[in-house]
């Protein structure tokens, strides 16, 4: 592959929807567990409706090396879902996922969104390390969340089994103060979490 510095990042345009379809099929075959990523018209409609912003990494000759999406789950949402991350074999090890997510996060910050949440496959440490490098924090795990029908050639093992994901949140902007309604038996735990977050913000 060319020098990583030659890779450029931008958002995909609606008429380029086939780019995402090709990347998904190359990495996952027909096993990805979201049908819309195989439908160019649906991808284009989501981009046109501002429900999807797809960052791509590409070379000067137009070769696309990777993709990462920002998705709006609801029209009034102030936190974006980051996902559908795919990096071609030729670009692995060059921090392309981290660069695409940083590019997307900078856009989302300027657009006034409060943060990004994402799921990183537990069996694939590179995406977890990239999230941490950007300042995201682990917020939990979903055990066995990925169906065993999903085949990802980036995983450490190709054996078919359900896989877990680590949940991450990347804060972008300050949100308004708002009340929390916590069951009494969880108030101590939630209070500790809030105190930890508050101290982390104060002292880094």
If one counts the domains in the chain, the total is 1
The H or E element spanning position 105 is: helix 96-110
CATH code of the domain containing 60? 3.40.630.30
Rounded CA-CA distance 145/36 in Å is 19
Q: Which residue has the tokens 């089994």?
A: 161
Domain residue limits at 194:
4-203
Could you tell me the pTM of the whole model? 0.81
Rounded CA-CA distance 93/1 in Å is 11
By percentage, how much of the chain surpasses pLDDT 70?
Answer: 86
What's the pLDDT band for 141 if we cut at 50, 70, 90?
confident
Q: Which residue has the tokens 């896989």?
A: 163
Q: pLDDT, tens digit, for every residue of 1-21?
A: 555 668 999 999 999 999 999
Q: pLDDT, tens digit, for every residue of 75-104?
A: 667 999 999 999 998 887 788 999 999 999
The H or E element spanning position 71 is: strand 64-71
């Amino acid at each position: 592959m060319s020098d990583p510095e030659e890779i450029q990042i931008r958002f995909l345009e609606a008429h380029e929807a086939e780019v995402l379809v090709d990347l998904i099929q190359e990495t996952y075959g027909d096993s990805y567990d979201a049908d819309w990523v195989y439908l160019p018209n649906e991808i284009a409609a989501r981009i046109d409706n501002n429900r999807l912003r797809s960052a791509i990494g590409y070379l000067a000759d137009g070769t696309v090396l990777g993709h990462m999406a920002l998705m709006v789950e609801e029209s009034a949402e102030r936190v974006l879902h980051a996902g559908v991350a795919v990096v071609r074999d030729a670009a692995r090890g060059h921090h392309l996922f981290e660069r695409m997510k940083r590019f997307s996060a900078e856009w989302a910050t300027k657009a006034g969104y409060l943060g990004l949440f994402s799921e990183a496959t537990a069996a694939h440490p590179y995406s977890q390390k990239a999230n941490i490098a950007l300042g995201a924090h682990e917020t939990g795990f979903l055990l066995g969340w990925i169906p065993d029908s999903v085949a990802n050639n980036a995983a450490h093992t190709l054996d078919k089994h359900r896989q877990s994901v680590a949940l991450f949140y990347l804060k972008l902007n300050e949100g308004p103060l708002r009340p929390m309604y916590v069951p009494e038996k969880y108030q101590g735990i939630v209070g500790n979490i809030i105190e930890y977050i508050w101290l982390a913000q104060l002292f880094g």
